[in-house]
Amino acid sequence: MTGLVDGKAAVITGAAQGIGEATALRFAEEGADVVVADILEDGGRDTVSQIEDRGGNAVFVETDVSQTEDVQHMITTCIEEFGGIDVLFNNAGIDGPIEPIVEYDEEGFDEVIDVNLKGVWLGLKYGIEAMLEDGGGSIISTSSIGGQVAVPEYSGYGAAKAGVSLVTKSAALEYATEGIRANAVAPGLVKTPMVENIMEQDPDAAEQFRNMEPMDGLAEPVEIANTVLFLGSDLASRVTGHTLAVEGGFLSQ
């Protein structure tokens, strides 16, 4: 049996936990060699072990996606370890401050833009540069429904995630004739440590989250991973420039 991404080399950021971890596992299951990139070493190494235990190939690279040298290193590691780069999932992200604009901390704003938007832009910049040398590829970046509709108290996060959709379109247009596709996924609410922390601290928010999407409850990380797998695979060979929402019908309301 052949996998959906057999023989491809994939770099996945934020792969120590949550959506990135689930995506790293799915890509490995479907035949890809995986670079697990994250600031969290323990979690990252754990993802690598899970992949190796199932017979796959993976390496961990400690990476802060907001730092140019780290992003360059993560890409060159993929080429050195696995002979090229076919897929990049720019997924690492933080929620940043949760405050109305007047109270919103300025440094927190800079940080959420640096990680969630500049980190994606750096991934596109150096990922595309490498893919141009390597016969093309597919880049997927994580946006959010919070980048399509405003969520009160998430101005920095929303601005970054809206930006992710737009830089994705820029990349799609600029490299459409060179074998490079760029798309984004926009999850609704997903059961990951990021959201579980908020739900634990705020029972009212937890109740609201459970009822937010027309479909029941929250998404499992693997449901986002499977969408990324589609976009990263040749099944999506004509799909570029899109932000594909995975939100149980939320945006249809």
DSSP 102: T
HSE-CB for 149 with a 13 A CA cutoff: 10
- Cα separation, 101 vs 156, in Å, equals 9
Q: Does 171 bind ligand NAI (CB under 6 A)?
A: no
**Identified catalytic residue from 104, 126, 154, 157:** 157
- Which residue from 190, 199, 228, 231 is in contact with ligand NAI, where contact means CB under 6 A? 190
DSSP 83: S
Q: Does 166 bind ligand NAI (CB under 6 A)?
A: no
Please list every residue from 64 through 83 that binds ligand NAI, using CB under 6 A.
64-66
- Which residue from 23, 47, 63, 233 is in contact with ligand NAI, where contact means CB under 6 A? 63
Stretch that binds ligand NAI, among 71-79, 168-176, 191-199, 226-234 (CB under 6 A): 191-199
- Cα separation, 38 vs 48, in Å, equals 12
Q: Which H or E element spans position 21?
A: helix 18-29
Q: Are 140 and 228 in contact (CB under 8 A)?
A: yes
- Which residue from 137, 187, 232, 248 is in contact with ligand NAI, where contact means CB under 6 A? 187
- Which residue from 17, 138, 148, 233 is in contact with ligand NAI, where contact means CB under 6 A? 17
Q: Which stretches of 99-176 are DSSP H helices?
A: 106-113, 119-133, 155-174
Torsion sign across C-alpha atoms 229, 67, 75, 33: negative
Stretch that binds ligand NAI, among 13-21, 74-82, 101-109, 126-134 (CB under 6 A): 13-21
Question: Would you give the distance in Å from CA 27 to the centre of its chain?
Answer: 13
Is 157 among the residues known to form the active site?
A: yes
- Which residue from 91, 138, 155, 227 is in contact with ligand NAI, where contact means CB under 6 A? 91
Stretch that binds ligand NAI, among 23-31, 35-43, 51-59, 121-129 (CB under 6 A): 35-43
- Cα separation, 120 vs 238, in Å, equals 22
Q: Does 192 bind ligand NAI (CB under 6 A)?
A: yes
Q: Does 127 bind ligand NAI (CB under 6 A)?
A: no
Q: Is 54 helix (H, G, I), strand (E, B) or coil?
A: coil
Report the interface residues with ligand NAI, using CB under 6 A.
Answer: 13-14, 16-20, 38-40, 43, 63-66, 91-94, 115, 142, 144, 187, 189-190, 192-195
Known catalytic residues are 157
